[in-house]
Chains A and B, each alone.
Chain A
Amino acid sequence: MDFRLSEEQELLIQNLGELLQREAPESLMAKFDEAHEFPAQAWKALADNGILGLGIPEEYGGIPADILTMTLVCETLGKFAFPLGIIYSLGMITIRDIVQFGSDEIKQQVLGGIVKGDAPVALGITEPQAGSDAVNLKTSAAFQGKDVILNGQKMYCTLAGVSKHILLMTRDPKIESPYQSISMWLLPTDTPGVRMNALSKLGWWTVPSYQVFIDNACIPYTNLVGKLNEGWPQLMANFEIERLALCAASVGAAEAAYEDASTYANRRAQFGKPIGEYQAVQHKITDMAVKIENMRHFIYKVAWMMDQGMPVRQEHAMCKLYVAQASFEVCDDAMQILGGLGYMVDSRIQRLWRDIRLMRIGGGTDEIMYNIAGPQLLKKARKAAEAR
């Protein structure tokens, strides 16, 4: 087994780290956070250095990249500027849906802009009554000649207010099976009839979320992404990669928290010696390092499996569950080590702590991850028993 990265991956990550220290330093990210502002300037710097084109076909200005490489990019973004890692991860699902299922016209319309620094396409799926039970959505699409009239309401639609498009999921109530009645549309956010309310959140202040109201918004039928009523399997095809990307960004955030905590433990003196000399702190530091090592192995393995075309149904859910919890625990321990200083608004830890908490909810809650992995694991056990 070879754990080494390729030279190209090492160089990419090394350069990206340098770019982030130059264009998205901690002081700048803190300012964006305080102002509740999307980090457009830092996002543009990523575009100018080709990072936003990774995974996008060359004909649209991108450069093909495997999933492990993109996972490393997410991890690095998470480490140096966590919100950028979150934004990048959220774009993974919508961009891949458009690459895989969008018409050439849609790809031309969207992908070129993404490569040049447009905010990622927002995903419009959650509704007030449809959260974890996402297929229970009610937003509708009615056909009028060559046009489609959209009506409904979306909740927690992250990035919608800074993006040019929403990848909108609608459902045909006439079809009984929810899995065969959902369609995917590209909805320009400046379409008349689209209104938004920004939502106030505990964290993710630079990654805005919205309640979106859609009243008789008219788009051409050609804005259908993929096939009519096949939106659900299309969406599911890329949920796994979005979750992996969010995990990678979270691991990066945990690494940043560890760095702050271990530096502080060596420096801060209490009762005449650095607090890192106390066993209680050493145990915390060690537990944090073990969790980070485990998380990294898990995300790299899932990424590698996806690159090999292997199914990751249970693995990705187990990975998301573990990383969401462990990365929060690492940030929480880091805050404990920094004590009062870590709770101050000026510290990076408090931001990481607030931002990372959502990972146990967004992109599929812990509970949904159990629901995905549990039955798969038992099915596997049954099969193994039958084979014996």
Chain B
Amino acid sequence: MNIVVCCKLAPDAADIEVNKDGSISLERAEWRIGSFDLHAVEAGARLAAGGGNLLALCAGPTRISQSKLKKDLLSRGPDELYLVVDDALAYADTAATSAVLAQAIRKLAPVDLVLFGEGSADLYFQQTGLQVGERLGIPSLNAVSKIEVEDGRLVVERSLECEVEVLEVGTPAALSLTTDINQPRLPGLKDILGAGKKPVHEWSLADIGMSAAPVIHVEVIETRAPRRKQRKQTMLSGKAQEAARALVDALVGEGLV
């Protein structure tokens, strides 16, 4: 089985710095594999271990082409890594991203299964997997919490609000997986050292047959951190009764009671 797992490489949310005016800075943020996508990588690695190969596919700006990021991804199981790199993809919306990924997957044909995390780590639209499936004209499902291969067909479970749906799906298919499908492995030194020896292919948009960058329909006007409210940290002293009275007065004064 030929499996492609699509991953979003994005700045680590933990490294985001909030400026005084509320705008955010990603300058010092380390880029990482989207945490939701790690589950898709793990699912792909487990399926490939049963017979097949696993290719990882990412699209994004030049910053995704970092040696450490590539090793990190390849240490988690994929046999090869394909990157579609173009700075025009820095602010790509789901339509643009899915167009690029679908085009790259066509070039990787034959592909039996395309896996996605449930959403991207930065924007979390949860759309890309479904759109790629649609563009490729193959069955696409989201909320997949279990995959089994039976006689060349896939039996998948979808965890919905009140029920678990069991479906049989033919291949090729595009599946977006939930985070409870597995616990991603943590690669050891042997995996990390081995990752440096695996093939990495870097494609431009032209390499996948796209003459121009896809049109981005969503314009991000600005991104701001929610305002933090300064706590007053008022200290009340004195006897319990006096302090209680002062507390009530303060709450009334603030219009809270």
Contact = CB atoms under 8 A, between A and B. Distances in A.
Interface of A: 7-8, 10-12, 15-16, 18-19, 22, 49-51, 54, 63, 65, 69, 269, 271-273
Contact of A51 (B67, B75, B188): B188
Contact of B67 (A7, A54, A269, A271): A7
Interface residues of B, number: 17
**Majority secondary structure of chain A interface residues (helix, strand, loop or mixed):** helix
Nearest to B75: A11
Given A50-B189, A54-B189, A65-B189, A7 B233 contact: no
Given A49-B188, A271-B235, 14 more contacts: A7-B67, A11-B75, A15-B187, A19-B186, A49-B186, A50-B190, A50-B191, A51-B188, A54-B189, A63-B189, A63-B190, A63-B193, A269-B233, A272-B234
Interface in B139-196: 186-193, 196
Contacts of B192: 8, 11-12, 15
15 contacts: A7-B71, A8-B71, A8-B189, A11-B68, A12-B192, A15-B187, A19-B186, A22-B186, A50-B188, A50-B189, A50-B190, A51-B188, A63-B188, A63-B189, A272-B235
**Residue of A8, A19, A273 with most chain B CB atoms under a 10 A cut-off:** A8
B86 interface: no
Nearest to A19: B186
Given A7-B67, A7-B68, A7-B71, A12 B235 contact: no
B210 to A, nearest CB: 31
Contacts of B196: 8
A125 to B, nearest CB: 31
A63 B190 CA distance: 7
Contacts of A7: 67-68, 71
A11 B187 contact: yes
Contacts of A273: 233
Contact of A8 (B186, B193, B234, B235): B193
Contacts of B68: 7, 10-11
B72 interface: yes
A19 B190 CA distance: 16
Contacts of B235: 271-272
B213 to A, nearest CB: 30
A65 B67 CA distance: 21
Contacts of A18: 186
B186 to A, nearest CB: 4
Contacts of B72: 11
B15 to A, nearest CB: 13
A366 to B, nearest CB: 34
A19 to B, nearest CB: 5
A51 B187 CA distance: 10
A379 B75 CA distance: 49
A15 B186 contact: yes
Interface string B37-70: 0000000000000000000000000000001100
Contacts of B75: 11
Nearest to A51: B188
Most A CB within 10 A of own CB, among B71, B192, B235: B192
- Among all A-B residue pairs, the 7 with the closest Cβ atoms: A50-B188, A7-B68, A15-B186, A19-B186, A11-B192, A8-B192, A63-B190
Contacts of A63: 188-190, 193
B103 to A, nearest CB: 30
Interface in B226-257: 233-235
Contacts of B190: 50, 63
A273 B234 CA distance: 9
B71 A69 contact: no
A272 B190 CA distance: 53
A142 to B, nearest CB: 44
A11 to B, nearest CB: 5
A276 to B, nearest CB: 13
